[in-house]
Structure 1
Amino acid sequence: MDVDTRLLRYFVVVAEEGTLTRAAERLFVSQPALTKQIKQLEALLGVRLFTRSRAGMTLTEPGRALAARVPELLAGWDQLLREARSAAGREARVLRVGSVASAANEATQDIIAAFARRRPGWRVDMRQASWSNPTAGLAEGDVDVALLRLPFPGQEKLRVETLFTEDRWVALPSSHRFAAREVISFRELWDEPFVAAPPESGRWRDYWLAADERDGHPVRVGAVTDQPDDWLSAIANGYGVALAPASSARFYARPGVVYRPVSGVSPSRAAVAWRPDDDANPVVRDFVRSCLDMGTYQNSPPRGGASSPAMGRPTQGAAASLDGMTMWSGRRAGWAAIGWTLLYVVSKALFALDGRLGVTGGPRVLPDAYRGYGPGEVAQAQWANAAAGALIIGLLLASFLPIRRPLPRRALIVTLWLCVAMAAAGAVGMLGGAVLTGRGGAVFGGYCAVWALLLTTATLAFHRRTAVDRRVEAS
């Protein structure tokens, strides 16, 4: 006799909860469907597993015997499935990544590209799940890692790192009386019918109905859908409105549906999640590190409409794990800064050698900014500039390397105060240098200001780069 493991899982939850109502909520299924599954299991086994009463579901003697062994059996089966699927993925060099809705927005492609650089020859298999499965198959072991929206049922059993926050907007029929508003107060939407996810999605459904942010006001459900196309159709047909990430205005634009900002409701959070037993999986760790590096700043539509993007907000945790080069608009800009600084260092070194040794022959013709200074003094100034540039290059390069030891807190503070002093000297030099010391003072002030900016950026880049590696190691 063969028994579907799904029936055994339902049995275990009913036995643990003691009532069909709580068990159905935990399993994200309807109560009638759960009752039917329990009766099917009893028919297959030929025994009565529960005694039903108004108080709930009480295990019979055969039920207690089954409940004592089934959890261990299911755990062993789940582990076997995960190991088999992971082995198949390693053999094919494929990482299975689940997602719900728009995943990590535009950063999804950057995350996959960053992972490909870390794992040459590996491929990411993106699998989009319906809204009735808020973990995108992660809880069931169907995927290795997932890009999700928080909160979701079973979140406490998984490893979760928040990537960024994003405002929640409202999707309305284009004929709705609020469709022309620039911003809509959430309180004005309390009496509107909402298009909701299936009841089995639990916390996830409640969050997107903002059930906890209505001051006890009941939710009106106008339609239930679990796919984006059905969701859009229900809204366009006037069955209800719905809260959605602001990015939905880009990813799910459709005639008959408009998106507007909402005040008085908390923002959405995008996250990467994985199972605790994959903490030591180097492939999963590389994908998580790619997410933390790339998923901090996201575009979201501006308050004035859905056509042009505006910058989103990073969470505090994601900002702490930032590569540091995102403040330079990504790694490409960081490498460009290194290249520019390297050329600058080389030019200053050559200038210094030329001024000291007279490489070009004859008396050195100095620019107006250096009039009144001897060749030796000019050479010293150029060597100082070259040394400062070399320090910047070192810190920028270090920000790309997987160094686990961050700057000591005292060294970081001293460096940043040095940057402040350099910036102040730069401001004084640029504003008053021309009057007090001639053009040379203005040039010196400009140097101070530029080096202060570069040194601050490079120091923070290095410090934050080490933070992300240590945090992923610890998670």
Structure 2
Amino acid sequence: MNPVESRPLRYFVAVAEELNFTRAAERVGIAAPALSRAISGLEADLGVRLLERTTRSVALTEAGATLLADGRAALVALDAAARRARRAAGVPGGKLVLAVKADVEGGLLEDVLAAYRAENAVVPIEVMFTGWREQPGLLRTGEADVAIVVEPFDSDGLDSEPLLSEPQVLALPNGHPLAERPRLRLADIETGHQQGVLGAHVYVRHGEQSPPFGDMVQMLRQIELGRMLALLPVSIAERNARPQLTWRPVDDAPEAVFAVAWPQNSHSRAVAAFVRVATTVSAGRGTGRTADAT
């Protein structure tokens, strides 16, 4: 049996996702007959049938479903490796791309960057500001090498090391009934609200959906408009005093944990240096914050 090459694997994934040879051929930019031959050749190489084909339909076999799942992961890894290689070739000595959500880094960013740049024999660093919770995906696709994230996050295929933790406070619009109380508990929030985003401390009124937001400015604006509430790290509250927002401590809210994350298969010395620097800076920092700081 011959090893699977990337091109026929890409062709197969296109067919398996489209379940239509014409659409898949348009997607990968070849003629449908050539695509069909490529899939037949892949089946011959593997010695298994991947697709059940009739004149009207295409369906995955059990072997095809297995190859689709593993093939997607293999292509993502291959594409990520190619991006990292091209990035390394673009700058003498390479560069390190750090993905971070603006203002969602526990106030660590400036000190960590300064300490990293002071290291000897490390590559230049480029900061990529991302949307809400985009960092894990960027690490997996190779568009970023390392990231500062807030736990919990999608850690599939990633390693991480906690940096620091700090209290969370509730952001709510002026005039909201909960804004009249000096301190809150989670039960106070949950009485009239439900979690709006899985894995995030965003709350909406019962029966409503979370409004869309892509970054912190959009999130805070949605809160000001009364469309949602959010538990956020106290450092965010300190940086985002807004006249239409009220921030309240929540005594039993879990602390926000900031972490540095990177791909499990990374062997980059620059990534290792960044992780070492980030953990050293955070260890020397301490939080020094309380929920009353707002």
TM-score bracket for this pair, using the shorter chain length: 0.7 to 0.9
Equivalent of 1:206, from 196, 199, 206?
Answer: 199
Q: Deviation of residue 232 (structure 1)?
A: 0.9
* Alpha-carbon shift at residue 108 of structure 1 (Å): 1.3
Task: Letter of the 1:238 partner, please give it.
Answer: G
1:82 — aligned with what? 84
Using the TM superposition, give the Cα deviation of residue 62 of structure 1 relative to its aligned residue in structure 2, in angstroms. Answer: 10
Residue 289 (str. 1) matches residue 276 (str. 2): yes
TM-score relative to the length of structure 1? 0.47
Task: Note the alpha carbon deviations across 1:76-105, whole angstroms, 9 max, x for none.
Answer: 34323332223435x265321001242432
Structure 1 residues 69 and 133, CA, compared in 2 at 3 Å: closer, same or farther? closer
- 8 Å contact 2:194–2:203 — kept in the other structure? no
**Superposition pairs of residues 172-187 of structure 1, within 5 angstroms:** 172-187=172-187
Distance 1:232 1:258, change over 3 A: same
Residue matched to 1:238: 226
Q: 2:240 aligns with which of 237, 252, 261?
A: 252
Q: Is residue 263 of structure 1 aligned with residue 264 of structure 2? A: no
Find the counterpart in structure 2 of residue 158 from structure 1.
Answer: 158
| Count of aligned positions | 259
Q: Which residue of 2 aligns with 1:108?
A: 109
**Aligned counterparts of 1:241 and 1:83: Cα–Cα separation in 2:** 42
Q: TM-score, normalised by structure 2?
A: 0.72
Q: 1:264 to 1:105 in 2, by over 3 A?
A: closer
Deviation at 1:193, TM superposition (A): 4.5
The structure number with the bigger radius of gyration is 1
Question: For 1:43, which of 8, 18, 23 is the aligned residue?
Answer: 23
Q: Say whether the 8 Å CA contact 1:170–1:261 is kept in structure 2.
A: yes
Distance 1:251 1:224 in 2: 22
C-alpha distance in 1 between matches for 2:138 and 2:286:
25
The aligned counterpart of 2:28 is none
2: CA distance between counterparts of 1:268 and 1:119? 32
Query: What is the deviation of 1:253?
Result: 2.3
Pair 298,108 (structure 1): closer, same or farther in 2 beyond 3 Å: farther
Q: 1:78 and 1:122, CA in 2 relative to 1: closer, same or farther beyond 3 A?
A: closer
**3-state SS of the aligned residue for 1:260?**
strand
One-letter code aligned to 2:23: A
Aligned ranges for residues 120-131 of structure 1 at < 5 Å? 122-131=123-132
Mean CA deviation greater in 119-128 or 243-252: 119-128
How far residue 39 of structure 1 moved from its aligned partner, in angstroms, is 6.1
Q: How far 1:254 sits from its partner (Å)?
A: 1.9
Q: Does the residue aligned with 2:114 lie in a helix, a strand or coil?
A: helix
Matches within 5 A, 1:373-384: none
User: What's the Cα RMSD here?
Assistant: 3.9
| Residues in 1 aligned to 2:70 and 2:133: alpha-carbon distance in whole angstroms | 29
Superposition pairs of residues 264-279 of structure 1, within 5 angstroms = 264-278=252-266
For residues 256 and 186 of structure 1, the distance between their equivalents in structure 2, rounded to whole angstroms, comes to: 22
Unaligned runs of 5+ in 1: 13-37, 52-56, 198-204, 212-217, 307-475
Deviation at 1:137, TM superposition (A): 1.4
- Contact 1:129 1:136 (8 Å CA) reproduced: no
Stretches of structure 2 lacking an aligned partner (at least 5 in a row): 1-6, 26-31, 37-49
With CA pairs under 8 Å and 6+ residues apart, which has the higher RCO, 1 or 2?
2
Q: How much has 1:75 moved relative to structure 2? A: 3.8
Whether the 8 Å CA contact 1:174–1:236 is kept in 2: the answer is yes
Question: What is the identity, as a one-letter code, of the residue corresponding to 1:78?
Answer: A
